[in-house]
Amino acid sequence: MFLRILEIIVPVFGVIALGYLYGRARSPNVRDANALNITVFTPALIFYALTEESGGQINLGMAAIGSLVIVLGAGVLAWGWARATGRDPRVYVPPIMFPNCGNLGLPLAQLAFGNQGLALMVVLMVVENTLQFTVGLWLLGDRVRPRQLASNPMLIATLAGVVCLQAGWHAPSMILPAIKMLGEVSIPLMLISLGVRLSQGQSGQWSAGLIGGAAAPIAGLAIAVPFVLILQPAPPLAGLLLIFGVLPPAVLNYMLAEQYDVAPQQVAAIVAVGHVIALAVIPVALAFVL
């Protein structure tokens, strides 16, 4: 079991570490690479995973509900805790609420549960991403923009993938290899980009980082465990929901905090410390679900 856990986490965190070291040495600008990943590579991965790697046996509805309940439930817990302790909800609630489902969740799901796990985590990621660009922006003081959501490439790819999955359609064999190749770029690029982003974070407010980074998996598990025990989703979704619950805060939380000028140093520290904590938390979670 210990060797199996190492086989899952070492490639993931090893690539992140490579990106971190490269970021410290070269300080590259990964904005264009991230934009390309969001608009081309990740949508290709989403479509391919849903139509070709799910086997047609995944419970899309239960996965979507699980992601919705865990994200919103963790957000409610974080909001209540922040208000009760006199902390700014805009700083603490989004990092606790929105986990790193893309950069970290997708490779973990694929390595731990194979192609079916990857397809399910894609659903969790899309729901979480949609909530971040609606509820998350509202928390930061912005407003929801339906037109922006409707033009989101990941949401379009998800809708197309779900329609094809339900209808039993597949992409033409002539273009399917191209879709697969584009999708295969997504996860390695996500991990490298995550390492680079973490290397560029500022070091202020580490006490906030420790508190927020530790609160994220606690709040996630507090919602994920009852959900799994009560509704008992079929494997591997049950295990994926628990992994989803302990994932560290998404790097996007820092990027949005910087954009909206909401204590970016504190949020950067929460994201950075959260990923350090994940080195200890994720192996324990994997030991329970494998």
- pLDDT tens figures, 48-89: 988 887 666 667 889 999 999 999 999 999 999 999 999 999
In 3D, which of 29, 13, 132, 91 has the Cα closest to residue 267?
91
pLDDT of the residue at 56: 60
pLDDT of the residue at 102: 85
In 3D, which of 72, 190, 42, 189 has the Cα closest to residue 136?
72
* DSSP-based three-state secondary structure for 244: helix
pLDDT of the residue at 201: 66
Q: Token digits for 158?
A: 């998800």
pLDDT of the residue at 203: 57
Which phi and psi (to 5°) does residue 99 adopt?
-85, 165
CB atoms within 10 A of CB 221: 18
Domain-wise residue ranges, the chain: 2-289
pLDDT of the residue at 71: 98
- Please tell me the pTM assigned to this model: 0.86
pLDDT of the residue at 55: 62
Q: Token digits for 171?
A: 């992409």
Instruction: Report the Cα 160 to chain-centroid distance in Å.
Output: 21
pLDDT in tens for each of the 290 residues of the chain?
Answer: 678 888 888 999 999 999 999 999 998 988 888 889 889 999 999 899 888 876 666 678 899 999 999 999 999 999 999 999 999 999 999 999 999 998 899 999 999 998 889 989 999 998 998 899 889 989 988 777 788 778 888 889 988 998 998 888 999 999 999 999 999 999 999 889 888 888 876 655 567 788 999 999 999 999 999 999 999 998 899 999 999 999 999 988 887 887 788 888 788 889 888 988 998 999 999 999 98
Candidates 1.20.1530, 1.10.1760, 2.60.120, 1.10.10; correct CATH number of 2-289? 1.20.1530
pLDDT of the residue at 207: 77
pLDDT of the residue at 57: 61
Contact 189, 30 (CB under 8 A): no
User: How far is residue 178 from each of residues 2, 26, 45, 107, measured CA to CA in Å?
Assistant: 36, 31, 11, 20
d(CA 10, CA 42) in angstroms, rounded, equals 22
